[in-house]
Amino acid sequence: MKTPRLTVLGAGPGDPELLTLKGARVLGEADVILYDALANRELLQHARPDAVLVSVGKRRGMRSFSQDEINALIVEHAHRSGHVVRLKGGDPFVFGRGREEMLYAEAHGLRTDYVPGISSAVAAAGSVGIPVTHRGASEGFRVITATTATGELASSVAEAARSRATTVILMGLGELPNIVQLYCAQGQAETPAAIIQNGTLPTARLVTGTVAELPARALEAGIGAPAIIIIGEVTRLATPEVLTQALPTVFADASYAEVA
């Protein structure tokens, strides 16, 4: 009998080559892999031919599993097959519910482990030349999510709007008008900002402008999810070549109403 266990693994920001070496090894050891929509499916090439692959991805407008269903699947597959790898986009401990799933697994008798992934909060920005910190422009940064677990606008957005520190907003495209309204109300309508879609991938898209200009520019460019929003002076450092690339949109009907 195999020991029932769970490894929560970060898939990274999108580029499959940014998976860690340990992550590749763990995928090759897995009996079952439960993977999210934001995890690049090319990573499944590391799996054994006999591994069970289960998509549990979450996307607006598409059938997906609830968190309770995912928790139950982890325990069920672990007791039936042994080693379950939960493959999650970015880093599982950055708004990824990774520890939440581990605690549930531990409460049901599973051994658990965590393998970090590169977070899109830093890597997607860096992939288009935007550093989250830069001497003379930003001495620190915050990473927040736009919505709460109940789908409401997070209070952390209002707090960020009162600050001049670099802010990276994950899962915020659907709340872009509300985010912009809060920033404008705090006198930050002219603060530089950017949106990056599919950061680190060949299909990456980038729009920049002031906070007030961002919604219109995102619509004009056809920006869709998955994307991150960055607000702060560091966005002025975006690589000029990326701005002029005429890359196709991933979603034909993309709008900032879509969320990751």
Active site residues: 36, 58, 171
| Alpha carbon separation from 233 to 62, 89, 219, 222, 238 (Å, rounded) | 36, 27, 22, 24, 10
155: Cβ–Cβ under 8 A, 6 or more apart, which residues?
A: none
Q: How many CB atoms lie under 10 A from the CB of residue 122?
A: 22
| Alpha carbon separation from 62 to 37, 56, 57, 79, 144 (Å, rounded) | 11, 11, 9, 29, 25
According to DSSP, the residues that pair with 77 across neighbouring strands are none
In 3D space, the residue among 212, 180, 198, 210 whose CA is nearest the CA of residue 245 turns out to be 198
Three-class SS of residue 78? helix
Backbone angles phi, psi at 165, to 5 degrees: -75, 155
According to DSSP, the residues that pair with 84 across neighbouring strands are 6, 32
Cα 185 from Cα 166, distance rounded (Å): 18
249: Cβ–Cβ under 8 A, 6 or more apart, which residues?
A: 205, 221, 222, 223, 224
Cα 108 from Cα 76, distance rounded (Å): 10
